[in-house]
Amino acid sequence: MFLWSSALADQDWIAYEPKDGPGQGKHVVLIAGDEEYRSEEALPMLAKILSQHHGFQTSVLFSVNEEGIVDPDDQTSLSGAEQLKSADVIIMALRFRNWPDEKMKLFVDAVNRGVPIIGLRTSTHAFRYEDDRETSYRSFNRFGKEVLGEDWVSHWGRHKREATRGVIEPSAADDPILRGVNDVFGDSDVYEAYPPADAKILIRGRVLSGMKPDDPPAKYTKRRRSDRKEQDINDPMMPVAWTRVQKNESGTENKIFCTTMGAATDLQSEGLRRMVVNAVYAGLGMDVPERANVDYVDPFYPTMYGFDIFRQGIRPSDHALGKVLPKGE
């Protein structure tokens, strides 16, 4: 049975009752679980947009401690995993998770049903089961490379020193996911990434010389980790958003949208939010709006990314409709 956010004061995940909209009857499950880029702040914001502006039923699952308080450092925790049984779309922002097999199975079952998957930032390295860990799902250590289209390679731009300007790939200008997208900026750095040949690149990331949207492009050369050859930092620019279709082990197909952007601070960019919302529509085979409404439902003041600086004492219910976290540091 599905429980709405108004009844979740003591629950370790949160759901949002949808308003009328095209998404009626579709369930989007958003999974927050990374230690650095504040997915625990970003995904409730996106879930509110999808439910209140577009009519999707949304649930946000978290990493929590034994008291039900959000703790992104707990790589074994996944709250509300049962919600994955009814997921029509998964939006994931994960890093090095190693959930218990009974919870991982629910994720794998959803993947094998063929649900569309939207992967943000560190989801390229979503899972890490160490060799001494007993699990049936060690193969999912390769989920980034084999499903989303890339694993962790390197920070291509200088971390916390060089921001990202999204540049639309000319051949993808008419892609529905880019409908209404004309300005994409993130203060996280460009990742080194080499999506497979079957991927359609939508956006490339121009490395900027600073952390502001109007900073000029960076100018220097850098050695690629892939083949150790040097290139100009922006020629060619690395892909930062792409789509592909992946046939999973059950024989069904998952429509994939992956972006290596996606810090909570990045998602202050209207263009980036619109790409994610558009990807939900596109993944479900729905008509993508000409200019999807991605206005915040409640004010959004994200914390700057970094390790060991997540907000303390926050419960999922603190993200209920009408509640606003104070401005982050």
Alpha helices in the chain (DSSP H): 39-54, 101-113, 143, 270-283
- Backbone φ and ψ for 96, nearest 5 degrees, come out as 50, 45
Identify the pLDDT of residue 327: 77
* Type of residue at 317: S
CA atoms within 13 A on the CB side of 125: 13
Identify the pLDDT of residue 328: 61
Instruction: Give the integer Cα–Cα distance in Å for 191 and 238.
Output: 7
Identify the pLDDT of residue 6: 40
pTM above 0.85, yes or no: yes
| pLDDT tens-digit map of 8-53 | 456 999 999 999 999 999 999 999 999 999 999 999 999 999 999 9
* Helix %, strand %, coil % of the chain (to 5): 25, 25, 55
| pLDDT tens-digit map of 254-304 | 999 999 999 999 999 999 999 999 999 999 999 999 999 999 999 999 999
Residue 191 within a domain? no
Contacts of 50 (CB under 8 A, 6+ apart): 23, 28, 56, 58, 277, 280
Domain that holds residue 297: 5-153+240-319
> Which phi-psi region, left, alpha or beta, contains residue 143 (left: φ > 0; alpha: ψ -120 to 50)?
alpha
Residue 61 within a domain? yes
Identify the pLDDT of residue 326: 81
- Backbone φ and ψ for 47, nearest 5 degrees, come out as -65, -40
CA dihedral defined by 207, 244, 55, 291, rounded to 10 degrees?
50
Identify the pLDDT of residue 191: 98
Q: Cα angle vertex 292, ends 143, 91, to 5°?
A: 20
Residue 246 within a domain? yes
Residue 20 within a domain? yes
Identify the pLDDT of residue 248: 92
CATH number at residue 65: 3.40.50
| pLDDT tens-digit map of 192-243 | 999 999 999 999 999 999 999 999 999 999 999 999 999 999 999 999 999 9
Residue 218 within a domain? no
Looking at the 3D structure of the chain, how many domains does it have?
1
DSSP string, 95-119: SSB---HHHHHHHHHHHHHT--EEE
304-308 mean pLDDT = 96
Q: Tokens 């369930």 belong to which residue?
A: 27
Contacts of 3 (CB under 8 A, 6+ apart): 11, 15
Peptide bond into 236 cis (omega under 30): yes
* Strand positions, DSSP E, the chain: 14-16, 27-33, 57-61, 89-94, 117-120, 154-155, 164-168, 184-186, 191-192, 200-207, 221-223, 230-232, 238-247, 253-259
Instruction: Give the integer Cα–Cα distance in Å for 15 and 9.
Output: 11
**pLDDT of 3 higher than 60:** no
* Type of residue at 240: V
**pLDDT of 250 higher than 80:** yes
Instruction: Give the integer Cα–Cα distance in Å for 47 and 16.
Output: 7
* Type of residue at 28: V
Residue 107 within a domain? yes
Alpha-carbon radius of gyration of the chain: 18
How is residue 240 written in tokens?
Answer: 């930062």
Residue 230 within a domain? no
| pLDDT tens-digit map of 65-104 | 999 999 999 999 999 999 999 999 999 999 999 999 999 9
Identify the pLDDT of residue 1: 37
Residue 42 within a domain? yes
At residue 329 the predicted structure's pLDDT band, cuts being 50, 70 and 90, is: low
